[in-house]
Amino acid sequence: AVVYRDGVLGRRPAVPADFAGLERAARRSSSARAWAYVAGGAGEGRTMRNNRAAFDRWAIVPRMAHGVTERDLTTDVLGTPMPAPVLLAPVGAGALMGKDSDVKIARAAAATGTPYVFSNQGCNPMEECAAAMGGTPRWMQLYWSTDDSVVDSLINRAEAIGAGALVVTLDTTSLGWRPQDLNLGSLPFTQGVGIAQYTSDASFSRLVRERLGETAVGRTDVTLGALRSLLSITRNHPGGFLANLRSPVPRASVQTFLDTYSNPGLGWDHLATLRDRTRLPVVLKGILHPDDARRAFEMGVDGIVVSNHGGRQIDNSVASLDALVRIRDEVGPDPTVLLDSGIRTGADVFTAIALGADAVLLGRPYLYGLAIAGQRGVEEVIANVVAELDLTMALTGASSIAGVTRDFLAPQEPPH
C-alpha cells in the first residue's frame, strides 16, 4: 500500500507500471542478442502464449463491504520467511544485460526483502551474490551435472552461503529449441556467458585440468541446438567467444562446461540420492504432470515448482497455471507447491495463490526492470507487483495469504 501511495504522490517511476510498457521499454534498452535470449521462448512461442491464456480463463470475483483495512502479505515457505509470496526466479546468462547483473539483482532482492534463487547459470558466483544480500534469504538452483563431484561441490557451496533451499531444475536436461537465438547464432553459454558458478568451482577446475592432461580433445556432447549455434558462431562471427579461444585452457573450460552442466540421463534414481547429499530443503522445479508431483513427494522432497521454464523449453506445452490446478488436486492441500511461468502482475499472483500456489517466482518481469533501470528497476518491478497484490486483496476482501482462496475465482469461458 505504501508503494501505491508513493506512486500516487508523484514520485517519478523508473519503469512503466504496466507489463506491456515494461516490455517495450526493456526491448529498447537491450541489445538484439540479449532480447532474443531473455524474451524469447521455445519454438513458435506457443507455451508462452498458453501461460498467459491460462490466466485469462480465470476471473476474480471480489466480495464487497468486507471491512478489510489491513492485509498481512507475509508468508513462510519451507522455513524461509518472506514479506510477500514472491521470489525471484533463477535466471542464467544475466551478463547479457550488463556487467554484474546477478549482484545488482541480489542488491534489489535485499532492498525489498525478497528471496532470490541464484542460478546455476549465474554470471556472478553465488558467494558474491550472497555477500550482497546481508540476511535476506537466498536459495540455490542446481542443474544435475554429469559429474557427481560437481553436484556435491555446488551443494556444499550452497550450504556454505546459507541457502534456505536447494532447487533442482528438471526441465533443462538439454536446452530447448530457441529459434530467436539460433537465427542470431548466439547461444550465450557457448560464448562463455553464464558459467561463473563453474569457473569458480574447485571440482570443475579439476575436471578442466584432467581434460588438459588428455591427448584427445574429448567428447563434446552438446544438444543439436547448441551444436548449430557453435557452428554458426565460429563460421559467421569470427569475433565470437569460441573462435577466439586460442588458449587451450578457456577452450577446455567451455568444453568441460558443455559436457557437465546438465545431465540428459537424469532419472529419479539420481534425485533419490539428494536426501543423503544435503540437509537443505529440496525443491524440484519444472514439474508439470500430477504423477511426477506425487512421485516427488512420495520420494520425500520438500517442495516443487510447477513451471515450464517460462515457455523456453518445449513449444506448445501445458500452461503452468493449468498444471497447478491438476497437481494441487492430486497432492492435496499440504505439500509445498510453488508456481512460475507467466506471472506478470499482482492480480496474477492473486490468481495463482487462489488456485493453490504457496508462492510464485517472477522471471522476465524483473529482468526487464534490470534492463531499463538496473538495481532500482528490479526493486520497482517487485514493489509494483506486491503493491498490486496488496490492493487486489484489499479490494476483494482477503486479509492474509491463507485467506486468498478459490472462492474468489470463477472460470471464464474463452471467447468464441
Q: Given 3-state DSSP classes, what are the helix, strand and coil percentages for the chain, each rounded to the nearest 5?
A: 50, 10, 40
Does residue 232 have a known ligand-binding role? no
Q: How far is the CB of 10 from ligand FNR (least distance, A)?
A: 30
* CB contact at 8 A, 145 and 207: no
Q: How far is the CB of 273 from ligand FNR (least distance, A)?
A: 20
309 touches ligand FNR by CB under 6 A: yes
Q: At residue 320, what are phi and psi to the nearest 5 degrees?
A: -65, -35
In residues, how long is the chain? 416
Does residue 312 have a known ligand-binding role? yes
x/- letters, 234..263, toward ligand FNR (CB under 6 A): ------------------------------
Question: 269 — alpha (psi -120 to 50), left (phi > 0) or beta?
Answer: alpha
Indicate the residue among 153 and 180 with the shorter CB distance to ligand FNR.
180
Strand spans (E) along 66-187: 75-77, 80-82, 86-88, 116-118, 138-142, 166-169
Q: How far is the CB of 156 from ligand FNR (least distance, A)?
A: 19
Indicate the residue among 39 and 394 with the shorter CB distance to ligand FNR.
39
Helix and strand numbers, DSSP H then E, in the chain: 18, 12
Q: How far is the CB of 192 from ligand FNR (least distance, A)?
A: 15
341 touches ligand FNR by CB under 6 A: yes
Does residue 143 have a known ligand-binding role? yes
x/- letters, 264..303, toward ligand FNR (CB under 6 A): ---------------------x------------------
340 touches ligand FNR by CB under 6 A: yes
For residues 404 and 362, what is the distance between their CA atoms, to the nearest angstrom? 19
* CB contact at 8 A, 332 and 58: no
Around 396, how many Cα atoms within 13 Å sit in the side-chain half-sphere?
26
66 catalytic? Reply is no
Task: Report, as residue numbers or ranges, the catalytic residues.
Answer: 309
Name the residues that contact ligand FNR, by CB under 6 A: 37-38, 89-93, 119-121, 141, 169, 285, 307, 309-310, 312, 340-343, 361-364
